[in-house]
Structure 1
Amino acid sequence: MDIPEQVVSFLTSRRLKLATAESCTGGQIASYLAGVPGSGACLDVGFVSYSPSGKAGFLGVSETTMEKFGLTSEEVAREMAKGALRQEGCCADVAVSNTGLADAAPEGGPPAGTQCFAWSFRTGNSELFTFAETRQFPGERNDVRSAAALYALSRIEHYFNQLPRAQREPSQRTTP
């Protein structure tokens, strides 16, 4: 079973729905899941917000956060994931976000291939638990984007398992 199939199986078995908030991957995370039969049971919504104005306007990323930490930062990724879950009409329990560089950055910026991720989980009492990390992927532009999208998906179950036990149990969840 490949990564997208594993994620669809995992989310479906736990009655979880996913939202994506993507920048560098440009919708590839959602696209990988949509390619799996049965993904409609677990894929809620996907946002592609490539520009700073898109991140601020659609996902609620603070201008201050972008200025202080830069677009390629865990802080921006965290706000993207949380922002996706807070959108009206979003019924997801889990959001994954990605922001980064597929090509070389301007001088003084992060190295090419640097990707920042966040995974945010909405619990039964609507509390958000968010995890973030940064990775660097080798290769050409589209190789980096593909690797980042698959990596983002591959860590959903890992971070779900980091939640407090009571928050992970489907019996403790309320359906949105």
Structure 2
Amino acid sequence: MIAEFISVGTEILLGNIVNTNANYLAVKCAELGISNFYQVSVGDNEDRLSQTLNMALSRSDIVILTGGLGPTKDDLTKEVTAKVLQRNLIEDARSKERIMKYFKDRKFDAIPENNWKQALIIEGSLVIDNHNGTAPGLIVKTDESNDVVSHMNPYNNKVIILLPGPPNELIPMFESDIIPFLRKLQPGILYSEMVKICGIGESKAEIMVQDLIEQQTNPTIATYAKNGEVHIRITAAADSEENGKLLVKPLVDELKRRFTTAIYTTDESENLEDVVVSMLAKHHIRLTTAESCTGGLIAGRIVNVPGASAVLGEGFITYSNEAKQKYLKVSAQTLMKYGAVSKETAAEMAQGAASVSESNASLAVTGIAGPDGGTEEKPVGLVYIGCTVNGKIRVKECRLKGNRQKIRDLTVIYALDLLRNAIMEEYGI
């Protein structure tokens, strides 16, 4: 089956918002085994939206429209879709009741009149409740055999899905209602697992699995380059989830044999910081961070994980040399002889962070994020990461490429991975 995405909103074309919905839908459809050949953004214009929808229906089995379901006059998605399908808009009592409850729960004195527009649905459509907003989603089948629809239908055997634009409304709706619906349209199932790797570049990772890719039939292997990571998805077509797991397992085992400890998880829902926090908790390790060029990004990534308070004690941002001396006890001699960006300073920052906080692990970074400040000897992108676990010091030198933000983001990833490896070495994992 082929799906096409139409993102509706002039604000997308003007660049006022980033269209993350298309990215999300592409990933989810790929997981479901649904092909995606076209993604289109169109403004709030009736004629252009109508042309775009007609084109999509002529070449795709499933058309997913996002946005344009709000209460204002320029929200036209529902109206244009009904017009293209030659169907009426009718009031849905349940949607009207939910809109009333939404405003009542929020203590509104009166409901703006234009909000009742959101209670109108395309006749013959399946209504998807919106638990995070007022605009319901709709699933419209264009099959003429639907007795509810008496009008002439220009398209047969197509599915149109209308979803609200805000991601915090679209994503929960898609996860709870649309994915189960789409699964029923697919013959059999697609089962996939993700292997997440850190510390090995995309090119090297691809070479390491090239023979598996060349031999693939079912299951298939696909590599994805992430910022500082490589993800490998193994997908099998099967008649059941159980048989899908059986097909995927030998390849996952082979990847584990080849990449060993570079694999930090095979759980798609886990990120690197999730794994690190879990390891810290498992071994009762209390961590302190000391950051210069990352300015708190490492601590921020760790705090993103629920339960981080059990493992993260303190965090220092020591951007200046004076702060490194005052809070982390880095010696003036070290800074004078080797400079702030050096393996020696990184080591003393890590030691000092652990010492002053009385923690049994620390992570420290110092580097040149750019765009200025680099020299021939110490170029932009030179970063040193210091790590201690139970008193043992490790220092990693990184020479990173990219703009300031990318260098800082990569530093966070390599720092977390260094800590992960240090814990594995210390506890024999």
- Matched residue of 1:72: which SS? coil
Aligned counterpart for 1:120 among listed residues 388, 400, 408: 388
Residue by residue over 1:31-81, the C-alpha shift from the partner in whole angstroms, topping out at 9 and shown as x without a partner, is 100011111111111000000000011100011101111111010000001
Aligned counterpart for 1:148 among listed residues 411, 418, 423: 411
Residue 47 (str. 1) matches residue 310 (str. 2) = no
- Match in the other structure for 1:173: none
Aligned counterpart for 1:138 among listed residues 382, 401, 416: 401
8 A Cα contact 2:291 2:366, kept in partner: yes
Q: CA RMSD in A?
A: 1.4
Structure 1 or 2, whichever has the larger Rg, is 2
- Match in the other structure for 1:5: 274
Displacement of 1:105 in angstroms is: 2.6
Residue 61 (str. 1) matches residue 330 (str. 2) = yes
Displacement of 1:157 in angstroms is: 2.2
Runs of 4 or more above 6 Å deviation: none
Question: Which residue identity lines up with residue 367 of structure 2 in the other structure?
Answer: G
Question: Which residue identity lines up with residue 119 of structure 1 in the other structure?
Answer: C
Residue by residue over 1:124-176, the C-alpha shift from the partner in whole angstroms, topping out at 9 and shown as x without a partner, is xxxx210101101211101111110121011112122333xxxx48xxxxxxx
Question: Which residue identity lines up with residue 37 of structure 1 in the other structure?
Answer: P
Question: Which residue identity lines up with residue 34 of structure 1 in the other structure?
Answer: V
- Matched residue of 1:92: which SS? coil
Alpha carbons of structure 1 residues 15 and 57: separation in structure 2 relative to 1, 3 Å? same
- Match in the other structure for 2:365: 98
Alpha carbons of structure 1 residues 107 and 157: separation in structure 2 relative to 1, 3 Å? closer
- Match in the other structure for 1:157: 420
Residue 25 (str. 1) matches residue 288 (str. 2) = no
8 A Cα contact 1:85 1:95, kept in partner: yes
8 A Cα contact 1:60 1:83, kept in partner: yes
Displacement of 1:109 in angstroms is: 4.2
8 A Cα contact 1:74 1:132, kept in partner: yes
Residue 70 (str. 1) matches residue 333 (str. 2) = no
Tell me the percent identity: 32
Question: Which residue identity lines up with residue 162 of structure 1 in the other structure?
Answer: E
- Match in the other structure for 1:86: 355
Aligned counterpart for 2:284 among listed residues 8, 15, 24: 15
Question: Which residue identity lines up with residue 416 of structure 2 in the other structure?
Answer: L
- Matched residue of 2:425: which SS? coil
**Equivalent pairs, count:** 158
Residue by residue over 1:59-110, the C-alpha shift from the partner in whole angstroms, topping out at 9 and shown as x without a partner, is 00011101111111010000001001111xx242100000000014344441
8 A Cα contact 1:44 1:91, kept in partner: no
- Match in the other structure for 1:172: none
8 A Cα contact 1:74 1:134, kept in partner: yes
Give the TM-score normalised by structure 1. 0.85
Distance (whole Å) between structure 2 residues aligned to residue 25 and residue 47 of structure 1: 11
- Match in the other structure for 2:151: none
Displacement of 1:17 in angstroms is: 1.1
Distance (whole Å) between structure 2 residues aligned to residue 46 and residue 2 of structure 1: 21
Residue 129 (str. 1) matches residue 396 (str. 2) = no
Question: Which residue identity lines up with residue 380 of structure 2 in the other structure?
Answer: A
Displacement of 1:12 in angstroms is: 0.8
Give the TM-score normalised by structure 2. 0.36
Distance (whole Å) between structure 2 residues aligned to residue 12 and residue 53 of structure 1: 33
- Match in the other structure for 1:174: none
Question: Which residue identity lines up with residue 161 of structure 1 in the other structure?
Answer: M
